[in-house]
Amino acid sequence: MDFSLSEEQKMLKTTLRDFATKELEPVAAKVDETSAYPAEQVKKMAELGLMGLTIPEEYGGSGKGYIDFCIAVEELSRASAGIAAYFRISLSLAVPPILRFGTHEQKLKYLVPQSNGEKLICFALTEAGAGSDPASLETTAVKKGNGYVLNGTKLFISIGGEAETIVVFTTVDKALRHKGITAFIVEKGTPGFSVGKLEKKLGFHGLSAAELIFQDCFVPEQNRLGKEGDGFKIALTSIDESRITVAAEAIGISQAALDASVSYSSERKQFGQRIANFQAIQWMLADMATHIEAARQLTYYAAYLQDKDIPNVKESAMAKLFASEVSSYVTNKAIQIHGGYGYVRDYPLERYLRDAKLTEIYEGTSEMMRMTIARALVGKG
């Protein structure tokens, strides 16, 4: 297998490294401190074509594959995972349901504004009693006339505070469990839909995690995605794909922590010499770098399979599991290398650690990833 990047991909990597360093890194600490929506940076990402990177050209995008997607996610997350997440989550979670299961009219109406950054799309699945078990969701859709009436509440919805378009998952019959799950596209401003509480989080500040409320919210039938009962398949297809990009996100955070640690240990002096000369520091750096590169290879292999349309549920789960846990490990070691400076907010290390933790939780916890891998190996029993 050829592990090298094409010249075009190398150029993409260089361009985005420069963009992230100039446009995202300088404001990363402020966004983290204030939890403010980085509107200007999201606009600049859209102007660069990132908000439609994987969307076909006929719907306003660039039509790039998952290797390009992972390159972009890694480079942007290295500068600010919180800002980069607006790009990653909208494209990896919210766009695929419409792209893969929507009608031509739905794609034109919703993907074009996403591509140019005018109207972001979010993915609303999680509820208080339905996280890792989406078949238990309580939000209902009742057929009425030429549409459906939605009632229920979604929690922890990333980009939920800013998105103009919501892909929401409901049930048309709770007794059917996963077979009753049905997906709809809801536009902000629809009567009966509102944004509730915005969560205060440990990390990924600036990225909203919103409560979305549906109270007798009428949605026309043409806004249904697929058929009744297709929602479970639609949701899992999107989540399986998104795991690859969460892994790339985790790698970007890890790489930032390693780069900072190499730089700091080369400059910091104790006992008359730089601390990079001490074997204890060298071994930590060596382990960090090795773990990151192993995570990167798993991730880009999963992206390669995705681009070739080869089933990769196990591989994407492996990539997310390993890369996310590596990210927590690497950022923890980075703080140790920085000592007291790593623990204060004047340095970005503590932000890296807080951001890294979320990659082990959202879009499939590490425990769910282990279950997915095990089932691929031995079956369900």
Our answer to whether residue 363 is catalytic in this structure is: yes
Three-state SS annotation for 265-283: HHHCEECCEEHHHCHHHHH
Instruction: For the chain, give every residue range classified as CATH 1.10.540.10.
Output: 7-115
Quick one: angle between helices 313-338 and 279-307, nearest 10? Answer: 160
- 121-229: CATH superfamily: Butyryl-CoA Dehydrogenase, subunit A, domain 2 (2.40.110.10)
| Choices 3.20.20.70, 3.30.420.40, 3.90.79.10, 1.10.540.10: CATH for 7-115 | 1.10.540.10
Please list, in sequence order, all residues whose beta carbon lies within 8 angstroms of the beta carbon of residue 160, skipping any fewer than 6 positions away: 122, 124, 154, 166, 195, 208, 209, 210, 211, 212
Which pLDDT band, with edges at 50, 70 and 90, does 324 fall under? very high
Rounded distance, CA 83 to CA 36, Å? 10
Under DSSP, is residue 189 helix (H, G, I), strand (E, B) or coil?
Answer: coil
Contact yes or no for 220/149 (Cβ under 8 A): no
- Torsion angle in degrees (nearest 10) through CA of 308, 310, 314, 317: 30
What is the average per-residue pLDDT within 38-58?
A: 96
- In CATH, which of 3.10.450.40, 1.10.3720.10, 1.20.140.10, 1.10.150.120 is domain 233-378? 1.20.140.10
Model confidence pLDDT, tens digit, residues 86-141: 999 999 999 999 999 999 999 999 999 999 999 999 999 999 988 778 888 999 99
pLDDT at position 280, please? 97
Q: Report CA dihedral (315, 321, 322, 325) to the nearest 10 degrees.
A: 170
pLDDT at 1: 63
CA gyration radius for the chain? 21
Asked if pLDDT for residue 381 goes beyond 70, the answer is no
Share of the chain above pLDDT 70, in %: 99
pLDDT, residue 4, reads 86
The rounded distance, in Å, linking the Cα atoms of 70 and 88 is: 9
* DSSP state for residue 230 in the 8-state scheme: -
Every domain range in the chain assigned CATH 1.20.140.10: 233-378
Q: Is the pLDDT of residue 247 over 70?
A: yes
From the candidates 211, 249, 360, 363, give the one annotated as an active-site residue.
363
Between CA 332 and CA 326 the distance in angstroms is 10
**What is the arithmetic mean of pLDDT over 33-41?**
95
Mean pLDDT, all residues of the chain: 96
Confidence of residue 380 (pLDDT cuts 50, 70, 90): confident
pTM: 0.95
Stretch among 51-60, 132-141, 356-365 having the lowest mean pLDDT: 132-141
Residues of the chain with CATH 2.40.110.10: 121-229
Mean predicted confidence (pLDDT) in 219-224: 97
**pLDDT, tens digit, 9 for 90 and up, residues 191-221:** 999 999 999 999 999 999 999 999 999 999 9
